[in-house]
């Protein structure tokens, strides 16, 4: 009898684990009884062997991306997630009170860094000349990957030029590069000072090899000595470039993931336990919600490379990486 009960319990546990691993990811965090709406996932593997996903947080039924804090979740098997709560909120900043948009994180000099766009003012979409919206990039520090992160410089890294959607890439030699998109949705890179509290050198508008991408959310990673610059082109289609240096010049290589609906996408790419993973967000119907509209949720798929280093285009699945534990065992 005990064996039967144990068997049922184990089967139920396995079933729930597999269910949880499906897309969108269930981070196990409810806010006002509804699953937290997350977007702009930025995934990293730190030295404790866990994978951490830093996300922005859509308020339930929010209007026009007025967002207030950022969250982090972690896992060691891509199935069971731990929610660590908000790592930072605009209420803790002296220089911004809104637009807690797509963040990233890095580890350097024994500290964890959380880099984030935030801003203030109003965007008037009907009469743009009435807009007062301003956005900048901040950097906060912690001894722990889950925070709390503190804005120790108590200011954005710079005020001009306009900057949004930062991505931090630490190269093998320890140099830190900050990528972002600027005023005309062009992509820039700037080096970080060694203490990660300021930038050094010039803003470089990158040479994209003649095919000029526009929009948001850059992400850079390195594989086999090749640098990959990836972004949601036109805000929707994930595409990529490669280069032999972190500042380019870049060469366009193609599409990673096509667009879905007329909606933005934002992603990150990381290798974990031998598998390459593409994190992204999906706009999904939320019938349980009062606004009954599509809201954003984090999802993940496997990513594969061809022998020449090109990326095999990825399709969205419901299954996601539910079989991850079987692959990596
Ligand atoms: O989440 C707010 C904004 O929407 C992000 O900064 C963009 O990348 C887009 O995902």
Ligand 1 lined by 40 (C-beta under 6 Å): yes
pLDDT digits (tens, 9 = 90+) for 21-45: 699 999 999 999 999 999 999 999 9
Mean pLDDT for 91-100 is 98
Q: What is the pTM of this model?
A: 0.93
- Domains assigned to the chain: 3-327 (2.115.10.20)
Higher-pLDDT residue of 18, 159: 159
Ligand 1 atom with least separation from CA of 117: 6
- Residue closest via CA to ligand 1's atom 8 equals 217
Mean pLDDT for 184-191 is 94
**Residue from 216, 263, 265 whose mutation best tests the ligand 1 pocket (most atoms within 8 A of CB):** 216
Q: Is 221 exposed, middle or buried (0-12, 13-18, 19+ CB in 10 A)?
A: middle
Mean pLDDT for 215-222 is 96
pLDDT digits (tens, 9 = 90+) for 277-320: 999 999 999 999 999 899 999 999 999 999 999 999 999 999 99
pLDDT of residue 183: 83
Distance CA 90, CA 96 (A): 6
């Amino acid at each position: 009898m005990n064996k039967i009960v144990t068997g049922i319990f184990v089967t139920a546990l396995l079933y729930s684990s597999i269910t949880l691993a499906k897309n969108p990811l269930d981070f196990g965090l409810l806010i006002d009884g509804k699953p937290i709406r997350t977007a702009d996932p930025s995934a990293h593997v730190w030295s404790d062997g866990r994978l951490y996903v830093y996300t922005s947080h859509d308020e339930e039924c929010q209007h026009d991306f007025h967002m207030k804090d950022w969250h982090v979740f972690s896992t060691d098997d891509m199935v069971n997630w731990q929610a660590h709560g908000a790592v930072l909120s605009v209420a803790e900043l002296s220089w911004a009170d809104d637009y807690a948009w797509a963040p990233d994180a890095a580890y350097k000099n024994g500290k964890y860094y959380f880099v984030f766009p935030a801003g203030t003012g109003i965007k008037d979409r009907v009469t743009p000349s009435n807009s007062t919206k301003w956005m900048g990039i901040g950097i906060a520090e912690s001894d722990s990957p889950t925070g709390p992160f503190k804005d120790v410089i108590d200011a954005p890294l710079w005020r001009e030029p306009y900057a949004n959607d930062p991505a931090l890439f630490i190269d093998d030699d320890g140099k830190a590069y900050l990528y972002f998109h600027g005023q005309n949705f062009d992509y820039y890179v700037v080096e970080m000072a060694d203490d990660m509290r300021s930038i050094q050198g010039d803003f470089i508008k990158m040479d994209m090899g003649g095919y000029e991408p526009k929009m948001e959310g850059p992400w850079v990673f390195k594989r086999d000595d090749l640098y990959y610059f990836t972004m949601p082109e036109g805000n929707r289609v994930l595409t990529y470039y490669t280069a032999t240096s972190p500042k380019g010049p870049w060469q366009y290589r193609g599409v990673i993931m096509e667009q879905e609906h007329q909606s933005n996408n934002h992603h990150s790419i990381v290798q974990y336990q031998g598998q390459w993973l593409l994190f992204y967000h999906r706009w999904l119907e939320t019938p349980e919600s009062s606004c009954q509209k599509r809201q954003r949720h984090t999802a993940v798929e496997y990513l594969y490379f061809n022998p020449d280093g090109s990326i095999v285009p990825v399709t969205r699945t419901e299954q996601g990486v539910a079989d991850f534990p079987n692959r990596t065992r």
